[in-house]
Structure 1
Amino acid sequence: MAPDTQLAHINLKPKSQEPYALILALAAAAIFWRLQGQGIGLGTMWLFGLALGYVLQRSRFCFVACFRDPFITGNTSLSRAVVLALAVATAGMALLVLAGGSPVEVYPAGWHNLAGGLLFGTGMVLAGGCASGTLMRAGEGHLLQWLALAAFIMGSLWGAHDFGWWQQVSLSCSPVLFLPRLVGWGPALVLQLLILGLIYHGLWRIEKQAFPDFSPPGKGRYAFKLRHLWSRPWPYWAGGVVLAVLDVALAWCTGRPWGITTAFSYWGAWLWQAFTGHPPGWYYYSLPEHTRALGLGFLAEPGTILNLGTIWGAGLSALAASEFRLHLPRRWQVVPAALAGGIMMGYGARIAMGCNIGAFFNGIASLSLHGWLFGLGLAGGAYLGGKLLLRFLV
């Protein structure tokens, strides 16, 4: 038999991991019923975490690429998907408030947002994942992201240690700029959606200039099948829209939107307590909401359950699509970069009171100007991180 004929008989198709996905799904259901029995909403947080992780992995919705790629490659497809998701979340959060809810993420707008965004943006490019991306890739089996997550926790603890200083020099003297309070709900919504539309158009022009001869392939005929929901990648825009809807639904069901990094500060405090015998006696942990959260413990703190569910959901999605692999770092140079990036993200998220989800996405969707300031810092940090990436790691 000729060599090329022999090669034709080699099965290059990866082995199906769907049975393992089924086992993981059954385990997730068992965990849900156990959490639901505790009666404090943990089961709901677990379900939302599973859904968020699943959608993140299926759509490869990445905030790092959103801020990095326009500077490096000129590709803005993910950036435009984030803008679309912000528009959907803005409308959803507005409906939530008009239906009787409270603005979910409205905080002081000051230079701490810019500084935190700059640190976070630089760190997420160096680490290869933002807060949501780190959880998603950890669930996929990327060992480098587990290292980045450990550093993220340490950075969050460091930021909690310094939070009292930031409270004095910036947070306490920064105004709360809630757009509907300044101009009214109607003008605020029109203004924000107009700004998002202009940003979308600008990103589209950047991509057209970077790829002037590119034209997308014809749509052709596409027969949708139910299994495509777990066996094929989702378009970026679809992932963004579903994530925005889940975010609003989470805020409606639990009174709190999607958040990630506040739980990391608790994880750091519990580790501190495990090694020292007592919790950190810092200003940040003396605030009532954080004192209550630390008293709940690891497996009873809602944000922790949401994060664990996100990791589990991403792993479930990867197995269902037969994409789960244990990925080792290919070069040793990326390890210190990921560790440094994780520490920068953790510290930046604490002083800015949120990450790419809490401060940027939910801040903007809640019509709070602190989200826009954090976004400006993210863009600057992504530009700086991209330069460092090209200079030292690529």
Structure 2
Amino acid sequence: MSAGTAAPTTSTKPETPPQARPQWLPLLLGIAGSVALVTATAFVAGAKLAALAALGLALGLTLFHSRFGFTSAWRQLVSVGQTSGVRAHLLMLAAASVLFAPILAGGVAFFGGTPEGNVEPLGLGLVVGAVLFGIGMQLGGACASGTLFAVGGGNTLLVVTLFFFIVGSVIGALHLPMWSSDAITLGSFSLAEDTGLGYGGALVLQLAVLGAIGWVATRWARRHDAPPAGRPPTARGVWRVVRGSWPLWVGALVLAVLNAAVLLTRGSPWGITSAFVLWGSKGLQAVGVDVASWPYWQGEKAAALSQSVLTDGTSVLDFGIMIGALVASAASGAFVLAKRLPAKVLLAAVVGGLLMGYGARLAYGCNIGAYFSGIASFSLHGWAWGLLALVGTWIGLRLRPLFGLDVPKPTDSVC
């Protein structure tokens, strides 16, 4: 080697993938859509719903930038023993529980009233619905929140999943009286209010259980020699905030804070799928179907059929998630539209969407309304939903090859 030639250097640090440039057209459309959503909602429904629209945008940005998954976390746990995603769930649930406890114990919502948690009944509908939802997640390619932020990010396949998610939700609403009858329903159970522990005692108990599960999850991953997890950042410094990707633990904490903000804003926690029933029912009503006569739409829910969707808090949150994900994906240079989709994969999206929509109605919620918000509200229903969805995940993984879908192997890297 000559004196003027520098010796080659080596580095053990993983290389950072080149950062894609922002996609300005979809980014500008997303920003315009964000402004339009908040402005239109404020005009139609007032400041409270406009605040929910802004929270929906923040949820969409967070979900996309952190790629915070429920479907993938359970798939990785069951298939290869990787628990990083589930441990992020535990952190999110613990943080949300800490925030929810004082709010539910005696808080006052920002716009008046007393906040109430998602505490739903236990029964056969929960068992069947949560298992069906777990199967549907693994076939449809995403959960409820994942479907929305993937659609916002331009995922063509998830548009199909979302459409049939709505269809399944409407069918589930039609059949709900059969699945919620007193003969097969035990009623709701709050770890805070029905045990005498109060919210303080229930919080201590819940944090202890979440911690124990986290310890078991860590040992489980080591015992199964789980493949490595984690994604290198696609941006560094302050740009990582707006261009991703965020660590899972950051996404977990931000989602917990945003869910608490939703609870304080509208008086109830974050949910997703009740809006799908509304959208689908309005569509049927527009072509002459008398959905107003269904038992599901009696009582307090009846007015929603004749009002703008912008007066429905869950719909506004859902719109915000999709638009927020559009902004996040375009800013990251990750917005992708059409792709060629095999017939089997399309069929999986159809079946998965139907199962998730139907299951969410029977089980009083999805991975957000039942699992995340239910557990944070100290509802036994939320804990049962999570366990049953794992059963559905196990079944769904065994069905994926029938639709030409891969199942992770122990030799695969996980990201």
SS in 2 for 1:211: coil
Once the two structures are superposed, residues 165-202 of structure 1 have per-residue CA deviations (whole angstroms, 9 ceiling, x without a partner) of 1121556x413211112131233212111111111111
1:29 alignment partner in structure 2: 35
Cα offset for 1:375? 1.1
Contact 2:128–2:359 (CA under 8 A) maintained in structure 1: yes
Contact 1:250–1:256 (CA under 8 A) maintained in structure 2: yes
Structure 2 residue 94 is matched with structure 1 residue 87 = yes
Cα offset for 1:224? 5.9
Structure 2 residue 258 is matched with structure 1 residue 251 = no
Cα offset for 1:156? 0.5
SS in 1 for 2:365: coil
Once the two structures are superposed, residues 215-269 of structure 1 have per-residue CA deviations (whole angstroms, 9 ceiling, x without a partner) of 999x9xxx96222112230011110110111001111011121111001111111
Partners of 1:327 and 1:82 lie apart in 2 by 31
Letter in 2 for 1:108: P
**Relative to 1, partners in 2 of residues 1:213 and 1:143: Cα closer, same or farther, differing over 3 Å?**
closer
**Relative to 1, partners in 2 of residues 1:190 and 1:259: Cα closer, same or farther, differing over 3 Å?**
same
2:9 alignment partner in structure 1: none
Structure 2 residue 400 is matched with structure 1 residue 389 = yes
SS in 2 for 1:152: helix
1:373 pairs with one of 384, 388, 396: 384
1:1-394 correspondence runs (5 A): 14-18=20-24, 20-40=26-46, 41-100=48-107, 101-169=114-182, 173-181=185-193, 182-185=195-198, 186-211=200-225, 225-276=237-288, 278-286=290-298, 288-390=299-401, 392-393=403-404, 394=406
Partners of 2:63 and 2:247 lie apart in 1 by 11
**Relative to 1, partners in 2 of residues 1:214 and 1:65: Cα closer, same or farther, differing over 3 Å?**
closer
Partners of 1:127 and 1:376 lie apart in 2 by 20
Cα offset for 1:115? 1.3
Partners of 1:345 and 1:283 lie apart in 2 by 21
Partners of 2:303 and 2:227 lie apart in 1 by 57
Partners of 2:257 and 2:39 lie apart in 1 by 24
Letter in 1 for 2:189: L
Contact 1:85–1:241 (CA under 8 A) maintained in structure 2: yes
Contact 2:139–2:352 (CA under 8 A) maintained in structure 1: yes
Cα offset for 1:91? 1.0
Once the two structures are superposed, residues 325-356 of structure 1 have per-residue CA deviations (whole angstroms, 9 ceiling, x without a partner) of 11425422111111001010011110111111
**Relative to 1, partners in 2 of residues 1:299 and 1:254: Cα closer, same or farther, differing over 3 Å?**
closer
Cα offset for 1:300? 3.1
Partners of 1:304 and 1:72 lie apart in 2 by 34
Once the two structures are superposed, residues 125-149 of structure 1 have per-residue CA deviations (whole angstroms, 9 ceiling, x without a partner) of 1000000000011011111111111
**Higher helix share goes to which structure?**
1
Cα offset for 1:29? 1.9
Contact 2:55–2:258 (CA under 8 A) maintained in structure 1: yes
Partners of 1:371 and 1:25 lie apart in 2 by 35
Cα offset for 1:31? 3.1
Cα offset for 1:76? 1.3
2:10 alignment partner in structure 1: none
Contact 1:96–1:252 (CA under 8 A) maintained in structure 2: yes
Letter in 2 for 1:162: H
Partners of 2:337 and 2:76 lie apart in 1 by 26
**TM-score normalised over the length of structure 1:** 0.90
Contact 2:148–2:322 (CA under 8 A) maintained in structure 1: yes
Gaps of 5+ in 2: 1-17, 108-113, 407-415
Letter in 2 for 1:128: G
**Relative to 1, partners in 2 of residues 1:190 and 1:341: Cα closer, same or farther, differing over 3 Å?**
same
Q: Does 100-109 or 311-320 show the bigger shift?
A: 100-109
Partners of 1:230 and 1:198 lie apart in 2 by 34
Q: How many residues align?
A: 377
SS in 2 for 1:328: coil
Partners of 1:159 and 1:30 lie apart in 2 by 32
Cα offset for 1:98? 2.4
**TM-score normalised over the length of structure 2:** 0.85
